[in-house]
Structure 1
Amino acid sequence: MRIGILGSGRMADALGGRWAQAGHEVLVGGRSPERAKELALRIGSQHGTLQDAAEFGEVTLLAVSAEAADGVLRTVGAPDGSLAGRPLIDCTNSVDQRDLTLAEPAMAERISELSPGAAVVKAFNLAADPVWRSTPQTFEGRPLGVPLCGDDEAALVKVEELVRALGGEPVRAGGLARARLLEATAAFAIGIWFGGGDTRALFPPLAHAF
């Protein structure tokens, strides 16, 4: 699969590197051409501008900070439909670091508004980049579950393929309107982790949940 990555930071490195290792074609586009080239050389991918990445992929990954997302999408012309007809993966988290609450309650919906025609899928936002670098994606004998929120069936199928390429197990979590719940879950989990808690211990197995 051809994957264009908007951004050259840690999530671009972690996800792009693993996808390149799995045999997918990856092009990293960054605001800094030097950083994009450096990352591409490290992970074995192509590199270019943000616009190059937006035009390259069957799937596009938005891998920038939540604060930078608006500017990056405007740079590639997303408000004019430049990403229309393709899956756009949103892995952002808009977390206020002062109190670990949401700074923006609906990032995925905002990104969808800024990318008319694109099939936005919220994914990969519940784990930090070191998790995505690790292999295999297995914890306590089970593959890592990766929640996906989106409205487009074809886009969800493509993102599921990319989850499995990392060794994870895709978990459909509802439409894009539910992405705000996934974003809130990330903020909640980060607070638990920073406090030394184990989020995996908070939820009973399905057979005992109800």
Structure 2
Amino acid sequence: MRIGIVGAGAMAEALGTGWAKAGHDIVVGARDAGKATDLAARLGARAGTFADAAAHGDAVLAALPHAAMLDVVASLADALAGRAVIDCSNPIVPGPGGLMLTTDGGPSAARLIADAAPDAHVVKAFNVCAAEVWARYADGLAVPLCGEDAGALDLVRTLVTDLGAIPLDAGGLDRAGYVEATAAFVIGVWFAGGDPRTVLPLVEHARG
């Protein structure tokens, strides 16, 4: 599969490394050409601009901080038309009681991205865990996916399984806000030294 990676940070490297090992054809695009070149060399991929990465991919990973995401995506809207765009961002900031959503009370980050590139097929995925987790511990993890387009979801399911992880259908893009809120809760518990897994029973006990 052809994959464009928009961004050259930790998430771009963690996910891109797994996909490169699976044999996918990757172009890394970044605002800083040196960072794109360095990451592409580590992945065995090609480097380019944001536009190069967007135009290359059957699937495009948007691996940018949420604060920078919308302007970049809007500038790439034409190139992203018809493509699966993976949003792994979290619109979270520190708050008085822990992490909070900057989108609280409004559209999710994934919906805002879909609005910025209305002809793209946005799929929310890979946002619950940090880059270090995807780099080292992806095997067996469930990855919630939210999206509307069946073809785009199929592509992203393939990319999830290529990392050794398990795709978990979580509904349409209207559900992405719940997944983002879950990430804020889970990451906050981890930072506080807790284990969010202890909140949930085994599935066979879930109904009492």
Q: TM exceeds 0.5?
A: yes
- Any unmatched runs of 5+ in structure 2? none
Aligned to 2:135: 133
CA distances 1:54-88 after superposition (whole Å, capped 9, x unpaired)? 10000011000000001211332x1xx33111110
CA contact (8 A) 2:5 2:63 kept: yes
Q: 1:172 & 1:118 partners in 2: Cα distance?
A: 19
Deviation at 1:201, TM superposition (A): 1.4
Q: 2:27 & 2:37 partners in 1: Cα distance?
A: 10
Deviation at 1:97, TM superposition (A): 2.1
The answer to whether structure 1 residue 100 and structure 2 residue 102 are counterparts is: no
Q: 1:166 & 1:201 partners in 2: Cα distance?
A: 25
CA contact (8 A) 2:81 2:120 kept: yes
Q: 2:82 & 2:93 partners in 1: Cα distance?
A: 32
Letter matched to residue 36 of structure 1: A
Please give the TM-score of this superposition, normalised by the length of structure 1: 0.93
4+ runs deviating over 4 angstroms: none
Deviation at 1:117, TM superposition (A): 1.1
Letter matched to residue 153 of structure 2: L
CA distances 1:62-121 after superposition (whole Å, capped 9, x unpaired)? 000000001211332x1xx33111110000001112430101241000000001111100
1:149 to 146, 169, 175: 146
Q: 2:128 & 2:169 partners in 1: Cα distance?
A: 14
The answer to whether structure 1 residue 82 and structure 2 residue 79 are counterparts is: yes
Q: 1:44 & 1:202 partners in 2: Cα distance?
A: 41
Aligned to 2:61: 61
Letter matched to residue 11 of structure 2: M
The answer to whether structure 1 residue 7 and structure 2 residue 4 are counterparts is: no
CA contact (8 A) 1:93 1:186 kept: yes
Deviation at 1:42, TM superposition (A): 1.3
SS state at 1:15 partner: helix
Letter matched to residue 180 of structure 1: G
| Percent of residue pairs bearing the same amino acid type | 48
SS state at 2:154 partner: helix
Letter matched to residue 68 of structure 2: A
Q: 2:79 & 2:118 partners in 1: Cα distance?
A: 8
- Any unmatched runs of 5+ in structure 1? none
Aligned to 1:121: 123
Moved more, 122-131 or 200-209: 200-209
Residues matched between the structures, number: 202
CA contact (8 A) 1:50 1:75 kept: no
Q: Give the CA RMSD over aligned residues.
A: 1.1
Q: 2:186 & 2:150 partners in 1: Cα distance?
A: 28
1:173 to 145, 170, 181: 170
Q: 1:150 & 1:167 partners in 2: Cα distance?
A: 21
SS state at 1:19 partner: helix
Letter matched to residue 150 of structure 1: G
SS state at 1:97 partner: strand
The answer to whether structure 1 residue 207 and structure 2 residue 199 are counterparts is: no
Please give the TM-score of this superposition, normalised by the length of structure 2: 0.94
Q: 2:164 & 2:19 partners in 1: Cα distance?
A: 11
Deviation at 1:43, TM superposition (A): 1.6
Aligned to 2:44: 44
